[in-house]
Structure 1
Amino acid sequence: MILRNISQYVVQDDENQTAWLRLPDNTMWHWYGGEYETHAYYLKLLSVVKPDNIVASQLVKYLLNNRKHATYWKSTRDTALVVEAFADYLKTSKELTPDSNVQIWIDGQLHKDVAIQTDNLFSLENTLVLTGNQLASGQHTVEIRKQGKSPLYMSGHLTNFTLEDPISAAGLELKIQRHYYKLTRATTLAPAAGDQGQVVPQHVRKYKRQKLANLSALNSGDMVEVELVIDSKNDYEYILLEDMKAAGFEPVDIRSGYNGNSLGAYLELRDDRVSLFVARLARGKHSIAYRLRAEIPGKFSALPTRVSAMYAPELKANADEIKLRIEDLPMQSRDLSE
């Protein structure tokens, strides 16, 4: 009954192979009853009642991903309870007594064959590295074959130079999307108090947003809003956003600094990019925007926005590339009041 009631709050991310409990937001800080303490006790319950449940292994990965500085959790109490829950899970899942044989095949050829036993669990050579000409251009098929009942965990990492045009988005635990919007000034009137308390109409400056697709055309002088949407699978600290600026655009803001954006990020304006430094990024979707002005006529490419952890650069993602055209506009047709 207890397990069934708790399961209604479980959120599973099949793409990232993690699971967590949907807990109420609590802005107060306590040394007890925290998020990781709750997850630790839930893992201890699963280890006793349903150790083979897929949620248990996904919960372990979620807790591992949310360590601070890859070593501890929010408090000493949280850390002790999570480590204790991990020990209970290892005992019931029998991961400390492996007995299996693993083979790695690439394009139909055997590249690695290793036996995983209790005596070599922490000393076996569990890495396969292919460099240079060992991996030709094109598509490849990677097969991992296992004999035995022991659980097996695997991961892959690829570094390559790409000639694709345009460059497409990529990312897993961090994802980022970039949207360009043309801003068109909309003159509106709003009621305001006059000098004698009477209601008088007052002009309010607002803009209508029109989303720009790839190869869209703009006029020189048009204002553009760039929106960056970040999707984070975990809670992170010290995240760097680098939005590569197309050559024909210049930022509307002329000074770097804190500008009151929703992430509390520090904005740094550079010649070829706009950098944003985020101290803390919570799990979920976030949006941040800044404005550019189209200036130099021509066809320009904005290289993908990049997001990465400043002290763990292997955690990274990039957005799609976009190409835009700027056309010259006669001076008499230009509105310089914006």
Structure 2
Amino acid sequence: MRSVKEQSMMDDDLGMYWKKQNNGWFWYEAGVERHALMVEAFSEILDDGKAVYGLKQWLIFNKQTNDWETTRATAQACYALILGGNDWTEDRAWTIKVGSEKFDSSNPALQTEAGTGYLKKRWEGDEIKPQMNKVEVTKEGEAPAWGAVYYQYFETLDKITKAESPLMVRKEVFKVKRTGTGEELVELNDGSKLTVGDRVRIRMEVETDREMEFVHIKDMRSAGMEPVDVLSQVVHSGGLGFYRNTRDAATNFFIDDLRKGAYVLEYDVFVSHKGDFSNGITTIQCMYAPEFTAHSEGIRVTVE
């Protein structure tokens, strides 16, 4: 068991886990069930409270962005979470302060979801004040908790700046030039000029610090460009398998399983019209946990 522990990885946010514990088709590739067994092993054999806490922490945060595939995995994980140590199911006092407004668990007017304690508070445009950009959260006990704060507003696509979370997406646009030695990619900066008939390559660099399921990428496309591949289909590229769906104004990528790491996705378009166009932005979001979202910055392209 000491050797098993030495091979583990410890993260302040994600807890204790092992690098290779992915789910698969074989009986020994049940990642969640195997991890739940590790909780029991570290509790019964080593009586290592710190390791047990870290293992439980990984389980609960894994559930945040992933589906526990089977009823057996769910049962094993739930058993591991209530096994020994601290009782994470007990209600704990908490306080949230947004600007000058304060909310706490003792307020009966706040309707929280039974079991999870989920709470949502919404402010309309006139109610939002500058001091509300400061948020303070306090909670009793050692059980992990999470939440998200976000603004929704309208902005011109060209003025949108890059935003990221544990998910990150970066968009690059290249002009493809044919040379005697093969293809040469020339990066297009904001305001770069193209001509009708040019071939353009869209590159999206995606990075995540944890495993996620059901991830959607939407890449907006300039009105002066048409995709080379117009048929929607399953594609294997950049170390990922995904469904690519081509629409009039954007190309969508649906990824069932996004592992921790960095990936590069590319596709080509042709310049079809003259004019000054916004090339839009690229957005990425985990549909299982929508608080994990990011988008690239917006740029313009000029076609002469």
TM-score bucket of the superposed structures, by smaller chain: 0.7 to 0.9
1:34 equivalent in alignment to 2:30: yes
Superposition CA RMSD, Å: 3.6
The one-letter amino acid of 2:196's match is S
Work out whether 1:250 is the aligned partner of 2:221: no
What SS does the corresponding residue of 1:93 show, helix, strand or coil?
coil
- Please state whether the residue corresponding to 2:299 is helix, strand or coil: strand
Which aligned pairs between 1:108-123 and structure 2 lie closer than 5 A?
Answer: 109-115=100-106, 122=114
In percent, how many aligned pairs have the same letter? 20
Alpha-carbon deviation of 1:246?
1.3
Whole-angstrom CA distance in 2 between matches of 1:222 and 1:105? 53
Q: Deviations over 1:138-163 (max 9, x none)?
A: 762112245x5554624124241143
Alignment match of 1:294 (pick from 271, 276, 286): 271
Q: Structure 1 stretches of 5 or more lacking a match?
A: 189-205, 329-338
Match of 2:104, as an amino acid? D
Amino acid of the residue matched to residue 85 of structure 1?
A
TM-score (normalised: structure 1):
0.71
Q: Which segments of 5 or more consecutive residues in structure 2 lack a partner in the other structure?
A: none
* Residues in 2 aligned to 1:157 and 1:241: alpha-carbon distance in whole angstroms: 21
Give the match for residue 182 of structure 1.
Answer: 175
- 1:249-301 CA distance string (max 9 Å, x none): 22223444346545343333322112233344334333221101233333322
Q: Deviations over 1:221-255 (max 9, x none)?
A: 32111112233422414x43221101222222344
Provide the residue aligned with 1:82 in structure 2: 77
SS of residue in 2 equivalent to 1:111? strand
Per the TM alignment, residue 173 of structure 1 is displaced from its structure 2 partner at its CA by 4.7
Question: TM-score, normalized by length of structure 2?
Answer: 0.78
Structure (1 or 2) with the greater strand fraction: 1
Computing the radius of gyration from Cα coordinates, the structure with the larger value is 1
Equivalent residue for 2:258? 281
How many matched pairs?
Answer: 293
1:112/1:6 Cα in 2 relative to 1: closer, same or farther (>3 Å)? same
What is the one-letter code of the residue matched to 1:113?
Answer: D
- Secondary structure in structure 2 of the residue aligned to 1:213: coil
Mark the CA change 1:31 to 1:24 in structure 2 (over 3 Å): closer, same or farther: closer
Partner Cα distance (1:324, 1:84) in 2: 54
Please give the alpha-carbon distance, in whole angstroms, between the structure 1 residues aligned to 2:7 and 2:264.
29
Letter aligned with residue 253 of structure 1? D
Contact 1:249-1:293 within 8 A present in 2 as well: yes
Bigger RCO (CA 8 Å, 6+ sep): 2
AA in 2 matched with 1:49:
D
1:36–1:66 distance in 2 versus 1, CA, 3 Å: farther
